């Protein structure tokens, strides 16, 4: 069992509360240090946030009961970095399409002799997690010292990260490579690694610290689409069925305050995405936990079983968690046709958190950051 990343609801809550009550106070001064597992100086909540087992709003709601927003400004910004990257990719889908077209399987099978790098490879495979600073160093060494393709590196993370997110992962690798902020790459330096691993590693003279950014097709970054993130009104609908899946495991709790519906947990894996056994087991344990705690929730493993559930409960209106770029589970023509053939209307539901934030992610993080107070106010988290 992965003790760093529990799957029992009570243990996840305990982990969350411990971070808020004990470690959040020092987050901004200590967050850059990679002190190795269990990484208590950061939250390690990303596998839960990514599956929306804990939402961004819930986290900040609890955090603000203890601290004024300004006191934990850095943490608030990090929470919004994820929203920013996700919004940016939604508005620049060509970046995901180009990445998908170019992916090939490649993994570092041999030790490189760079101790820190070899350690992070092992930590990632064994625990499904790497500290943010280690991810930056790792990606930089991968691209600029080992001269490997950034796409293969992003794919390697995709296979092993418990918190893998198509937007954050792909855009962070592009950022390190110098393709996201054009002409500005991230260089891993031995003295920085020495300082922020608390003197554990010192790869002096082992890293290429003068590499230029990768050559970019900068025009790709400008191909922004005009997309409206509409608010869906559910209150007039009847015979509603709600699907929860690993894009959003708790949409039922969010919506049940306002409407009645039947819920089905859909065990959906994208067959095109090859993920490690550790990730598969983590998800499997979460499915079991959700079903054990919610006896009224149905379960389906494929679209045929979903149709059976739809017929059994006479569902007329089907709500599915919004599927962002790279997280397509049900938004496929052949599956949607099966629903419409049964006269079922389908709605992909985007949480207010994303709906309000995504339109601000057109340009860089700096202008997005300025909107954080407005977003917090609209969420009722700040006056
Ligand atoms: C090359 C590379 C690849 C990455 N791939 C992913 C990925 O696939 N999935 C993913 O969730 N994050 C990714 N990150 C971002 C970041 O490293 C992780 O979100 C963070 O390390 C998660 O650990 P934590 O929950 O302890 O973060 P904390 O420091 O406790 O932060 C709290 C939350 O804020 C968000 N956050 C923090 N840092 C970032 C960041 N730099 N960018 C976006 N959101 C952030 C996360 O949701 C995180 O859970 C990547 C970063 C790099 C440099």
CA of 22 to the centre of ligand 1 (A): 20
- Whole-number Cα distances in Å, 225 to 94, 150, 277, 339: 9, 25, 36, 28
CA of 308 to the centre of ligand 1 (A): 38
- Residue 108, pLDDT > 70, answer no
Verify whether ligand 1 is closer than 6 Å to residue 173 (CB atom). yes
Residues 313 and 201 in one domain: no
- Residue 171, pLDDT > 70, answer yes
Q: What is the mean pLDDT of residues 281-287?
A: 96
- Residue 218, pLDDT > 80, answer no
Tell me the percentage of the chain whose pLDDT exceeds 70.
98
Q: What is the mean pLDDT of residues 260-283?
A: 90
Residues 67 and 135 in one domain: no
Rg (CA), the chain: 21
Report phi then psi at 346, rounded to 5: -115, 135
Does residue 231 form part of some domain? Answer: no
- Both ends of the chain: CA-CA distance in Å? 43
Report phi then psi at 145, rounded to 5: -100, -45
Domain boundary among 222, 254, 284: 222
Verify whether ligand 1 is closer than 6 Å to residue 49 (CB atom). yes
- DSSP classification of residue 370: T
Q: What is the mean pLDDT of residues 193-199?
A: 98
**Inter-axis angle of helices 56-66 and 9-18, nearest 10:** 40
3 pLDDT tier (thresholds 50, 70, 90): confident
pLDDT tens digits along 179-194? 999 889 999 999 999 9
CA of 240 to the centre of ligand 1 (A): 35
> Angle at the Cα of 140 (from 134 to 143), degrees rounded to 5?
135
Domain boundary among 172, 188, 222: 222
Contact 332, 346 (CB under 8 A): no
Residues 245 and 337 in one domain: yes
Does residue 256 form part of some domain? Answer: yes
CA of 142 to the centre of ligand 1 (A): 18
Does residue 70 form part of some domain? Answer: yes
- Whole-number Cα distances in Å, 348 to 126, 271, 313, 330: 35, 21, 20, 10
Residues 263 and 344 in one domain: yes
Residues 81 and 127 in one domain: no
Q: What is the mean pLDDT of residues 270-298?
A: 93
Residues 269 and 344 in one domain: yes
- DSSP classification of residue 367: H
Provide the 3-class DSSP secondary structure of residue 248. strand
Q: What is the largest CA-CA distance in the chain?
A: 67
Domain boundary among 222, 257, 281: 222
Residues 290 and 196 in one domain: no
> What's the total number of domains in the chain?
3
**Residue 303 belongs to domain spanning:** 240-349
Dihedral of CA atoms 84, 358, 83, 81 in degrees, nearest 10, equals 20
What is the pLDDT, as a whole number, of residue 274?
Answer: 85
7 pLDDT tier (thresholds 50, 70, 90): very high
CA of 79 to the centre of ligand 1 (A): 9
Instruction: Give start and end residues of each alpha helix (H) in 92-209.
Output: 93-102, 115-127, 132-140, 150-160, 166-177, 190-196
104 pLDDT tier (thresholds 50, 70, 90): confident
Does residue 228 form part of some domain? Answer: no
Helix (H) or strand (E) holding 91: helix 73-91
What is the pLDDT, as a whole number, of residue 1?
Answer: 55
Q: Nearest Cα to 208, choosing from 276, 146, 290?
A: 146
Residues 137 and 176 in one domain: yes
Does residue 229 form part of some domain? Answer: no
* Residue closest by Cα to atom 37 of ligand 1: 78
Contact 251, 321 (CB under 8 A): yes
Q: Nearest Cα to 157, choosing from 232, 29, 46, 71?
A: 46
CA of 43 to the centre of ligand 1 (A): 10
Residues 299 and 336 in one domain: yes
Verify whether ligand 1 is closer than 6 Å to residue 160 (CB atom). no
Residue 18, domain CATH: 1.25.40.80
Does residue 75 form part of some domain? Answer: yes
Does residue 22 form part of some domain? Answer: yes
* Residue closest by Cα to atom 33 of ligand 1: 79
pLDDT tens digits along 309-348? 999 999 999 999 999 999 999 999 999 999 999 999 999 9
CA of 147 to the centre of ligand 1 (A): 24
Residues 178 and 216 in one domain: yes
What is the pLDDT, as a whole number, of residue 110?
Answer: 78
CA 211 to CA 383: how far, in whole Å? 46
Residues 77 and 109 in one domain: no
Residues 119 and 183 in one domain: yes
Q: What is the mean pLDDT of residues 289-297?
A: 97
268 pLDDT tier (thresholds 50, 70, 90): confident
Residue 281, domain CATH: 3.40.50.620
What is the pLDDT, as a whole number, of residue 107?
Answer: 64
Dihedral of CA atoms 361, 249, 63, 88 in degrees, nearest 10, equals -10
Verify whether ligand 1 is closer than 6 Å to residue 169 (CB atom). yes
pLDDT tens digits along 118-161? 999 999 999 999 999 999 999 999 999 999 999 999 999 999 99
Residue 211, domain CATH: 1.10.579.10
What is the pLDDT, as a whole number, of residue 273?
Answer: 79
383 pLDDT tier (thresholds 50, 70, 90): confident
**Inter-axis angle of helices 166-177 and 93-102, nearest 10:** 80
pLDDT tens digits along 39-86? 999 999 999 999 999 999 999 999 999 999 999 999 999 999 999 999
Beta bridge partners of 347: 319
Verify whether ligand 1 is closer than 6 Å to residue 136 (CB atom). yes
Verify whether ligand 1 is closer than 6 Å to residue 77 (CB atom). no
- Residue 269, pLDDT > 90, answer no
What is the pLDDT, as a whole number, of residue 270?
Answer: 75
What is the pLDDT, as a whole number, of residue 109?
Answer: 64
Percentage helix, strand, coil, to 5, in the chain? Answer: 50, 5, 45
Question: Where does the chain show beta strands of DSSP type E?
Answer: 240-244, 262-266, 298-300, 317-321, 345-349
Burial 77-100 (b: 16+ CB within 10 A, else e): ebbbebbbbbbbbbbbbbbbeebe
Contact 74, 29 (CB under 8 A): no
Does residue 263 form part of some domain? Answer: yes
Verify whether ligand 1 is closer than 6 Å to residue 264 (CB atom). no
């Amino acid at each position: 069992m992965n003790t760093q990343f529990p799957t029992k609801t009570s243990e996840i809550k305990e982990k969350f509360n411990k971070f808020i009550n004990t470690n959040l106070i020092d987050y901004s001064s200590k967050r850059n240090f990679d002190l190795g597992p269990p990484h208590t100086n950061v939250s390690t909540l990303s596998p839960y946030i990514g599956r929306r087992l804990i939402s961004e709003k819930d986290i900040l709601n609890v955090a603000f009961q203890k601290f004024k927003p300004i006191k934990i400004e850095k943490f608030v910004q990090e929470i919004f970095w994820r929203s920013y990257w996700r919004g940016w990719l939604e508005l620049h889908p060509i970046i995901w399409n180009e990445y998908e077209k170019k992916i090939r399987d490649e993994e570092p099978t041999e030790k490189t002799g760079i101790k820190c790098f070899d350690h992070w490879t092992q930590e990632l495979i064994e625990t499904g997690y790497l500290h943010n600073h280690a991810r930056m160093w790792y990606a930089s060494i991968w691209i600029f010292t080992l001269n490997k393709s950034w796409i293969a590196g992003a794919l390697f993370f995709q296979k092993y990260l418990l918190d893998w997110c198509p937007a954050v992962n792909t855009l962070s690798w592009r950022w390190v490579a110098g393709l996201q902020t054009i002409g500005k790459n991230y260089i891993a330096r031995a003295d920085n690694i020495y300082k922020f691993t608390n003197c554990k590693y010192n790869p002096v003279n082992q890293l290429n610290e003068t590499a230029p950014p990768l050559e970019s097709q900068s025009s790709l970054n400008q191909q922004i689409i005009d997309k409206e993130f509409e608010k869906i009104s559910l209150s007039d609908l009847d015979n509603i069925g709600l699907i929860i899946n690993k894009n959003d495991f708790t949409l039922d709790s969010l919506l049940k305050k306002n409407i009645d519906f039947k819920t089905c947990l859909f065990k959906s894996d994208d067959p095109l995405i090859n993920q490690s056994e550790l990730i598969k087991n983590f998800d499997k344990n979460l499915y079991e936990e959700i079903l054990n705690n919610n006896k009224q929730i149905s379960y389906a493993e494929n679209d045929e079983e979903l149709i059976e559930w739809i017929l059994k409960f006479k569902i007329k209106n089907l709500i599915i968690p919004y599927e962002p770029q790279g997280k397509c589970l049900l938004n496929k023509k052949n599956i949607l046709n099966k629903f419409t053939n049964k006269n079922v209307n389908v709605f992909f539901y985007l949480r207010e958190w994303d709906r309000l934030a995504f339109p601000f992610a057109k340009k860089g993080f700096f202008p997005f950051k300025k909107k954080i107070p407005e977003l917090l106010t609209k969420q009722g988290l700040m006056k």
